[in-house]
Structure 1
Amino acid sequence: MSYRLFVRPVPPYADPDQSAEAQLFSWVLQDASGDAQARGTADTRESIEQTLAQNALENVLLIGLIPGDEAVFCLADIPARQNRFIQQALPYAVEEQIAQDIESVHLALGPHTAEGYRVAGIDRERMAGWRSLFLGWHQARLEAIYPDASLLPAAESGWVICLDGDSALLQSQRLEWLKMQADNLPLLTVTLAAPTADEVVAEIPVKLYGTESDLESSQTLISELAGATGHLNIEAKPLDFSVTELLAWSYHQHLCQPINLCQGMFALKPEGSSPLKPWKPLIAVASLWFVIQMGLEVGMGVYHQQQAERLESEAMALYRNAFPSDRRTHAGNVRRVIEGQLRVAGSQGPEVDFITLMKYTGAQYGRLQNPTAVTFNSVNYSRARGELVVDIRADSYDRLSRLRNGLASEGLQAQIGSVVNESSGARGRLTVSGG
């Protein structure tokens, strides 16, 4: 449930920079339905914070109500519609309505009406002091600062007056607010009784709020107001609660249109006010996915690096076993060394000696059908050429061809030359060498 804490400093006003802890407040704690759950008339900040803590309330929205005479009401007739141009023209539009250097005034822009933009002006140093007074409360977060008189229930016509001890809060039908000493109200009777330019009325309605004690003690004042011009129709409305509760109730019921002074250089930037707030869950998920993906990539990289190092070690171990005397070869050049050795071996061909050639030739001779039909007349071997030359005779050339093909299937080079066909068969010279 959302709670709002309306806090209104009561006089005497302490210096926020020197003795803020001595300031007393009239306050009311309002729940989401607008009911007052707790209240006080002259309590310290510490006491109010303890009340919130005792009720286990956190992140309560704090609304600060400053004296209505601290901020002046203005109207700005600005034809522009874009906020940037409105802000640029605003100081010039209200300069004549403010009785101090416009450069030292903080201007807060309100809604647009038929008469122009409603504007609240307040001294910058005073605004800074009020802002610091309401900031940093435990269990509460500052949401807005309003002039207290601007929260009076608006009237369709005439005026609204609220007696508050020695003071009086006033608001006109065009939502202009004032705060003054109650005893000075008779001085404004002519102003209060003056109708607007488009009105022709005999009486101006005035709603007068106040506690029973305030109304009773101000009977003489009320009589003076009613009889000064004879045009004020005063309707007294006794309150069963404090003025602060009246203002909080009016705010909850949307009976007022106050101007939030926390704008521009005094704008509030609570946690989570970033324009990226709606995207934070998606950003969090994307960030988590990125971290996990990076972790997987790093993990796989480490794993593959370890596998590569293991394979390099195994390859070098095999190479050392085959070439124990080679100390120059390492994991970085072992592939190049082996490829070079293979190229040399391929260019030179295999070194096959006499015994090997005779073994393969004899094995193929034994595989022939009817090998007795084949006769070796002479055998010669050239070590320089690595060749075995056999003078051979067979009952047919086909047997000679089969012997040659069998040797070729073993990866050897076999050729038959000087073939002579005779009536009894064929003879020739079989030359066998390494592949």
Structure 2
Amino acid sequence: MKSWNTIVRKQLFIQLSAPQAGQVTGGAEAAVLPASWVLQDDQRPTGALFHGNLQEAAAQAAGARVSVLVPGVDVVLAQVELPAMKAQRLARAVPFALEEQLAGDVDDLHVAIGQRDTQGRVANAVVSRQRLDGWLEQLKAVGLQADVMTPEMFGLQWDAEDVPGRSHWSMLIDGQACLLRTGAQTGLAFEVDSLRPVLQACVDDAGDTPPTSLQLTVCGDGAFAGSDEYHLLSALCAEQGMDLSLDTKNEARSVMLAQGFDEQRAINLLQGEYSRKQQLEKLLRPWRPALIIGGLWLLLQMGVFVAEYSQLSAQNDELKEQIETVYREAFPESRNIVNPKVQMQRGLEKLRGGGGQNDGLLALLTQAGAVLKDTQGASLRTLRFKGGKLDVDVKMPDLQSLDKLKQRLSNEAKLKVEIVSASSRDGKVESRLSLQAAGGGK
């Protein structure tokens, strides 16, 4: 089965260093903090090492999954035995179960929960909230959002147990820094000067199930093989029946940690209130009232839009029916109505081609049409043209609007207008107007 690292096409590993005395780690100064990072992609599958500052590292983060390896000396990896329970209850129970093992107030510490092993022990990573906040502030200052933040021990290679209760430990030495991984989610960081006592304590903690072997990788030249620390380590391994293998590599520590990192076996510190989801909620919390009001306003506007659309749609359907009615009355021989506007134009073109009397009809339609179209509340019902006169049946809101229509046809359309009939029905006025050119006969 492929590991998570091989599935992700581009990965950026950033290694944060422990702050030096008097060094400012937050705010704008974070952008120029020294950093080393490894970029893995299709062109650089084993990873390319870069040195610079955090701002330069952030420039290569586009499209990459960002994993931040923090100093191992700042994180304690521990285990605690607890009965099976839901994740939320477990997250609340673990800090108090660890209280006796930890120095300091539990409220000042952040505990990230790992996996439960076959013996029922729950792995966890403990870090100072102040230190974790500082790391996140550094990243925020350069616009970086970490997908994973984990102690650097999880960059060491670790092989599953080949014999129940027996495992293979791995260790990395870089100068005076030493990293040890004793299990899938256990390990620690310390200085080389403490190598023998620390390893002895780890072996004692293992009890009756010590590791089968210890894989030691040293960054740099082969000088460590002749050192006192190596001889002490070799003697201890021989006493415990552990196979010791030494591998000296002329590669940077950051590259080797990136190559050995398996996200599925690491403990991500970005959990609980530090998870990306919680960080986003914290960012949006001050804006929540405004977002709620904005959402309600959008819903209201959508409701108004839907209502207006429905109203306009109904009016459009009514106008279509009126157009079809007028068309059928003007062209009773037409049976199929597909596009009344186009068919009306074609019919008028035929009439226009007839000349004589038809020219008079077109002139009256042109003059009266603009006024009728612009008259609010006017509903055209039928048209009849005979003897140079155009009879128009209209429905108007009231007599006053009918008189105004007559005046407009006379003044604006320059037509001779006669109200032939007018009657009130259902609150409306139905009338027939007789129109003819102003110079026509009496």
Q: Same fold (TM over 0.5)?
A: yes
Q: Deviations over 1:200-222 (max 9, x none)?
A: x7x85221112232754773321
Q: Distance in 1 between matches of 2:401 and 2:132?
A: 88
3-state DSSP of counterpart to 1:178: strand
Partner SS, residue 269 of structure 1: helix
| 101-110 or 209-218: bigger deviation | 209-218
Partner of 2:81: 77
Other-structure match for 1:297: 310
Please tell me the residue identity of whatever aligns with 1:182.
Answer: V
Aligned to 1:385: none
Q: Residue in 2 aligned with 1:257?
A: 265
* 1:315 lines up with 2:395 in the alignment: yes
2-structure distance, mates of 1:176, 1:59: 31
SS of aligned partner of 1:168: strand
Question: Secondary structure, in 3 states, of the residue corresponding to 1:43?
Answer: strand
Structure 2 equivalent of residue 342 of structure 1: none
Aligned length: 306
Tell me the residue number matched to 1:100: 104
CA distance in structure 1 between the partners assigned to 2:402 and 2:14 by the alignment: 92
* Candidates 188, 206, 229, aligned match of 1:196: 206
Change (3 A) 1:112 1:11: closer
Query: Which whole-Å deviations, capped at 9, do the CAs of 1:379-402 have from their partners, x for residues lacking one?
Result: xxxxxxxxxxxxxxxxxxxxxxxx
Following superposition, the deviation at residue 161 of structure 1 comes to: 1.2
Bigger mean CA deviation after superposition, 299-308 or 181-190: 299-308
Which letter does structure 2 place at the counterpart of 1:5? L
CA deviation profile, 1:269-319 (whole Å, cap 9, x unmatched): 39999xxxxxxxxxxxxx9x9999667435426657999943369534884
Aligned CA-pair RMSD: 4.0
User: Counterpart of 1:163 in 2: which secondary structure?
Assistant: strand
Matched, 1:116 2:196: no
Structure-1-length-normalised TM-score: 0.59
- Aligned equivalents of 2:120 and 2:230: distance in 1? 31
Q: Which residue of 2 aligns with 1:15?
A: 24
Q: Deviations over 1:238-294 (max 9, x none)?
A: 224222222211225x6x721000001111139999xxxxxxxxxxxxx9x999966
User: Residues 164-175 of structure 1 correspond to what in structure 2 (within 5 A)?
Assistant: 164-173=174-183, 175=185
Residues 95-244 of structure 1 aligned to structure 2 (within 5 Å): 95-113=99-117, 114-135=119-140, 137=142, 141-155=145-159, 156=161, 157-173=167-183, 175-194=185-204, 196-199=206-209, 205-213=213-221, 216=224, 219-228=227-236, 230-231=238-239, 232-244=242-254
Within the candidate set 11, 25, 39, 2:35 is matched to 25
Whether the 8 Å CA contact 1:170–1:177 is kept in 2: the answer is yes
Task: Tell me how far apart the structure 1 counterparts of residues 96 and 115 of structure 2 sit (CA, whole Å).
Answer: 18
In the other structure, the counterpart of 2:55 is 46
Identity of aligned residues (%): 20
How far 1:81 moved relative to its partner?
2.4
User: Which amino acid is 1:69 matched to?
Assistant: V
Structure 2: runs of 5+ lacking an equivalent: 1-7, 162-166, 282-298, 323-374, 381-393, 405-422, 430-442
Cα deviation digits, residues 164-220 of structure 1 (max 9, x gap): 222100111364211111122122243244473343x7x852211122327547733
Amino acid at match of 1:133: Q
- Separation in structure 1 between the aligned mates of residue 273 and residue 148 of structure 2, nearest angstrom: 14
Residue 244 of structure 2: SS of its match in structure 1?
Answer: strand
Q: C-alpha distance in 2, partners of 1:297/1:173?
A: 67
For residue 15 of structure 1, give the secondary structure of its aligned residue in structure 2.
Answer: coil
* Distance apart, 1:79 and its partner CA: 1.2
Rounded Cα–Cα distance in structure 2 between residues aligned with 1:174 and 1:338: 88
* C-alpha distance 102-272 of structure 1, shift in aligned 2 (>3 A): closer
Contact 1:75–1:115 (8 Å) recurs in 2? no
Gaps of 5+ in 1: 274-286, 325-332, 340-435
Residues of 2 paired with 1:241 and 1:75: CA distance?
A: 32
